[in-house]
Amino acid sequence: MDLTMCLNYYIFPDKKVFPHFYVLGWYSTGSDAQESDMHFHKALMDINESPLYVLLNPAINPAQKDLPVTIYESELHVIDGVPQLIFVRSSYTIETVEAERISVDHVAHLKPSGGSAATQLAAQLTGIHSAIKMLNSRIRVLHQYLVGMQKGDIPCESSLLRQVSSLLRRLPAIESEKFQDDFLMEYNDTLLITYLAMFTNCSSTMNELVDKFNTTYDRHSRRGGRTAFI
Has residue 225 been placed in a domain?
A: no
Residue 51: which of 28, 20, 21, 74 has the closest Cα?
Answer: 74
Q: What is the dihedral of CA 60, 65, 67, 71, to 10 degrees?
A: -110
At 152 the pLDDT is 84
pTM of the model: 0.42
- pLDDT for the residue 107: 63
Instruction: Verify that 164 and 107 share a domain, yes or no.
Output: yes
Residue 80 and residue 139 share a domain? no
pLDDT at 171: 65
Residue 24 lies in a domain: yes
> Can you give the pLDDT at residue 73?
92
Domain boundary among 71, 90, 109: 90
> How confident is the model at residue 207, as a pLDDT?
87
Percent of the chain topping pLDDT 70: 74
DSSP-assigned beta bridge partners for residue 15:
none
Q: Which residues of the chain have pLDDT under 70?
A: 1-18, 97-99, 102-121, 171-175, 219-230
Q: How many domains does the chain have?
A: 3
For residue 194, the enclosing domain spans 182-220
The answer to whether residue 141 is domain-embedded is yes
Assigned domain for 111 exists? yes
| The pLDDT value given to residue 115 | 47
Residues 6+ apart with CB under 8 A from 58: 29, 68
Query: Residue 227: what pLDDT?
Result: 47
In a domain, 125, yes or no: yes
Is 188 found in the same domain as 117?
no
